[in-house]
């Protein structure tokens, strides 16, 4: 009888140990999966053009012989400021006609109404989504965090090129930036 109780006790301990292992491993797996989703999402967006993320190229890599002067694309510029950032943000020119393959420059203006230094980061989005695969920037304020002093106003350049291989049916592209408040960590 005591042998049977010992076996039952050992079986219960074994089952309890297995359940405890599973209960510990599930959150560990979930955390690891969640941690891996950020880089996987970025790769997915880069491959598919989802989320309207634009590309980055070096100006020297743009071949001016690939300019398609036979067509123009209207580019509209939008600007937004996220909550918690006391900035006014706008494009200097709201739209322009561009030839695919040629480098262009557009200016944005940002003004801080804060009484202290504030830091923001611009996040771009391009629509239609397919156009984001062909919209490349050589210089952009969105490449780094922007720090504005109290009541400072600044003009910020954007240099871009739309790849000459953009599909013919795309005649209009909208580039939108949203500036978000970034807490400066020291």
- Each residue's pLDDT tens digit, 12-71: 777 777 888 888 888 877 777 676 665 665 555 555 444 445 554 544 455 556 788 899
Torsion of CA 61, 66, 69, 75, to 10 degrees: -40
**Residue 165 to residues 72, 84, 130, 135, Cα–Cα distance (Å):** 13, 40, 12, 10
| Better pLDDT: 100 or 6 | 100
Residue 40 token pair: 């996987």
pLDDT at residue number 18: 80
Torsion of CA 169, 157, 78, 148, to 10 degrees: 160
Domain ranges, ordered by start, for the chain = 1-48, 52-181
Give domain 52-181's CATH architecture. Answer: Sandwich (2.60)
- How much of the chain, in percent, has pLDDT values that exceed 90? 45
Q: Tens digit of pLDDT for each residue in 152-178? A: 999 999 999 998 899 999 999 999 999
pLDDT at residue number 31: 73
- Round to whole Å and give the CA distance between 104 and 26: 51
- How large is the average pLDDT for residues 138-146? 89
Q: What is the mean pLDDT of the chain?
A: 81
Q: Tens digit of pLDDT for each residue in 90-141? A: 999 999 999 999 999 999 999 999 999 999 999 999 999 888 888 888 888 9
- pLDDT-based confidence at 8, cuts 50/70/90? low
- Round to whole Å and give the CA distance between 76 and 137: 15
pLDDT at residue number 30: 77
């Amino acid at each position: 009888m005591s042998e049977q109780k010992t076996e039952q006790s050992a079986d219960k301990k074994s089952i309890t140990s297995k359940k405890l292992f599973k209960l510990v491993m599930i959150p560990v797996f979930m955390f690891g999966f969640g941690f891996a989703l950020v880089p996987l999402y970025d790769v997915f967006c880069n491959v598919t053009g989802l989320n309207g993320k634009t590309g980055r190229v070096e100006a020297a890599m743009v071949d001016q012989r690939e300019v398609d002067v036979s067509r123009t694309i209207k580019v509209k510029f939008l600007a937004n400021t996220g909550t918690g950032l006391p900035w006014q943000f706008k494009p200097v020119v709201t739209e322009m006609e561009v030839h695919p393959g040629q480098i262009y420059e557009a200016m944005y203006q940002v003004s801080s109404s804060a009484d202290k230094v504030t830091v923001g980061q611009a996040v771009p989005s391009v629509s239609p989504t397919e156009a984001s695969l062909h919209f490349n920037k050589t210089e952009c304020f969105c490449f780094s965090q922007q720090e504005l002093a109290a009541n400072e106003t600044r003009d910020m350049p954007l240099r871009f090129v739309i790849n000459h291989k953009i599909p013919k049916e795309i005649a209009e592209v909208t580039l939108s930036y949203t500036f978000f408040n970034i807490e400066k960590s020291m």
